[in-house]
Structure 1
Amino acid sequence: MSTPTPTAPAAPAPTAPSAPTAPAPAVPAAPPTPPTPATAPSPTDAQDVASLPPWAQSLIQSTRAEAAGYRTRAQAAEQGQPPQAPPAPQPPAPAPADPPEGDVSRLPRWAQTAVTAAQGASRQLAVQTAVIAAAPAAGADVAALLDSQAAMTALAQVDPSDPAAVAAAITAAVQANPRLAATSGAARGGADFGATGTAPLTAAQFAAMSYPDRVALHQSDPDTYRRLAGS
């Protein structure tokens, strides 16, 4: 009996290569969402005095007006305009009576700052005006007194509407610092107004005088100054 010859396995049929798959188109990213715009501030958030209660508007406007009045007087003196006789010190205008809701601490912070700044400026300028009026009679040099930080710090504690208190404070400042005393007789710039044996000062000479010379004349001879200033 013959042995059967084994049959060779059939070779696998070649597989056709698969067609390349086209890449899927990229999906564009969604644009970023724009940020939500900030809400515009309401008119009451703005630093607008008109947005405040009537009592607060009146308080701020009155203190600003008072400070502006003193400031105008000081600027006129700095520009060398003819000075009038030193005005009597005027007390700061009293704050209007506030209704029950008139509490400054309840105002916006910027409004509180505006009130404080206006009141402080008015107070400082009122003190300076009182010093200018009282310094000659107290024997003090006006310019030196205003330039002295120590003297003005002490005078800031005095009621500017009290001439006696202002004069006493000036006298104390001069005693503490003799350099603040006015030079008797001689005026700044070398002129000697009111000296014995000299001709009376004329209106034309007074008109030609500089501001410092007029201040010195007021200190040395207030009667002549008032006579010529009023002519």
Structure 2
Amino acid sequence: MDSYAPLLEKTRIPQPALQKLAVISIFSKLRSSSNHLNFESESGKRAISQCLTSSSPNVIDESVRQLCRLVTDGVIEVSNGLLELQSALEGSDLKFVNVFVKGLCFLVRFGFQKNNGDWSFSSIHTHPFVMILLCRVEVQSELLQQVLLFMLQNQRLGMIQVCEFLKPLLDFSIIRLLASESSSSSFGLQLVSSMASFCCSCPNESMPVLKLLMGCLMYLPHETSE
């Protein structure tokens, strides 16, 4: 019998306190168990997957929190945490989309800070923000908020580094905007608008952001860039 089975069964009991305790116990077991039961084992992977695909908001919320804690405590790599949450986001119920986006973006902020602002990816499509955007249309509103939070929380590392990290997302969004028939409601325009608003709110940090925006907007048709 899978040693996680009794705890997983408790996550299905409609009692929030019991569900939360069961999830905490599962992730505590993942953290401390030997190789045949830890997060890299088949039973460990199944336990994480079942927690992240639960139909209970309490289980999903606590599972995302506990997975992020495994990453910040150095138990698993940032890339592995991102992979788990990205996979869960792709198949999640609509009501859980924002929870997964928040968890993913928390790990992105953590990874960026862990690398002191020097964090790059092999291609535009492997950038975590681009991967979130490509996952499903429902992520867009929360992703916009999280991009602004990323900018605000990483000012101390320098806005030049922040802008370099965000450039693949902005480039990709502009490319999609140019190919879109409904550009007025596109994520690209909303992203540009949000970043411009950041410049107004944080004028001392605005120059690198303005340069980034100007470099991207030059590719837009005049009537769109207005």
Q: TM-score, normalised by structure 1?
A: 0.26
Q: TM-score, normalised by structure 2?
A: 0.26
Larger radius of gyration: 1
Q: Which has the higher contact order (CA 8 A, sep 6+)?
A: 1
